[in-house]
Amino acid sequence: MPPVKPMLAKSVKKIPPGMHYEAKWDGFRAIVHRDGDELVIGSRTGKPLTRYFPELVTALLERLPDRCVIDGEIVIAHEGRLDFDRLTERIHPAASRVRMLAERTPARFIAFDVLALGDESLMDTPLAARRARLDEALAGVDAPVHLAPSTTDIDTARHWFEQYEGAGLDGVIAKPLDLPYRPDARLMYKVKHERTADVVVAGYRFHKTGPVVGSLLLGLYDDGGALQHVGVCAAFTAARRAALVDELEPLRMDSPDNHPWAAWTDEAAHETARLPGAPSRWSGKKDLSWVPLRPERVCEVGYDHMEGTRFRHTAQFRRWRPDRTPESCGYAQLEEPVSYDLAEVLSGGGA
């Protein structure tokens, strides 16, 4: 019975040998419970996503076994690649807007594990046997429900890792073949792309524990010379958080009025730009106030991939770059993966 939290993966640097491999989808993790005409789509935290994807409710009722629990990912594709921005737009309180977006940008469900079929729990069944049952249960399934391509050949997994990024995927998942299903446990392995970029540090947010740095606000200059907010870097030790406050104090501005991101105080600006301090349906009541800094320092960060004009995930601080000028930190330095059609991924292309 819902809610059930999904089994998770821990990061590793290389694809481990002798396992079951799948592409790592960039979407909303979802566990689907179906019992006849009843269907619940549960999120990673256990909260229901059902109301946000009405088109998937219809499709899943038509295509899944009559009684089952299926683990997978909800994605939205645009111009042949995954589009996480369009996916996040679905989490909206207005049912009318959700219905409109369901028609304009319909979602897909990628199934990659099964927890139960009929009256049978498969939680203690080894992964290899669970996957065989899933293949049988979803044989011949068609869009917008898909069976995730998989392989046990590590060379194919390496090929996917290099090729599929062009379709918006961000790595490979490796699963031990004898692995039972354990909710909320990090027993699988994920291998993600990592690159580096030199970025401008233009502000910071305090950490929730007190007046120490929680995250640095990062920027890159666009072709028009405007400093665009591209994300944050975090994960500092407690001592480093405190030291950063003193280290950045000479750059601290009393007011954001003359800062490149001064427009964040104008609510209307949030409709067209992603600026620090912007409220969102994800942040809720979270304090997003920030300390503006003169954009004069450059640091190198590690990142996995871009989502549009910003880092998809939190970047990782690597080092200060006193040899770089802020104006030299533009988008041109970022590596762009070769485009690869998502349809080829879903059909198992390259296997």
Please list the residues that pair with 219 across neighbouring strands.
200, 229
Q: Which of 10, 13, 24, 285 is catalytic?
A: 24
What span, in angstroms and rounded, lies between the C-alpha atoms of 222 and 220?
6
Residue 326 tokens read as 């802020």
Within 10 angstroms of residue 249's Cβ, the number of other Cβ atoms is: 10
Tokens of 182: 């354990």
**Which tokens in the block code for residue 246?**
């003193």
| Cβ(43)–Cβ(89) below 8 Å | no
Q: Are 191 and 44 in contact (CB under 8 A)?
A: no
Active site residue 47: no
68: nearest Cα among 36, 19, 112, 33: 33
Judge whether 2 and 116 are in contact, CB under 8 Å. no
Residues 6+ apart with CB under 8 A from 161: 15, 171, 172, 191, 193
H or E segment to which residue 59 belongs: helix 54-63
Amino acid type, 334: L
Cα of 85 vs its chain's centroid, Å? 10
* Whole-angstrom Cα Rg for the chain: 22
- Beta-carbon count within 10 A of 203 CB: 29
Nearest to 261 by CA among 224, 294, 301, 287: 294
User: Residue 76 has which token pair?
Assistant: 């939205």
Positions annotated as catalytic residues are: 24
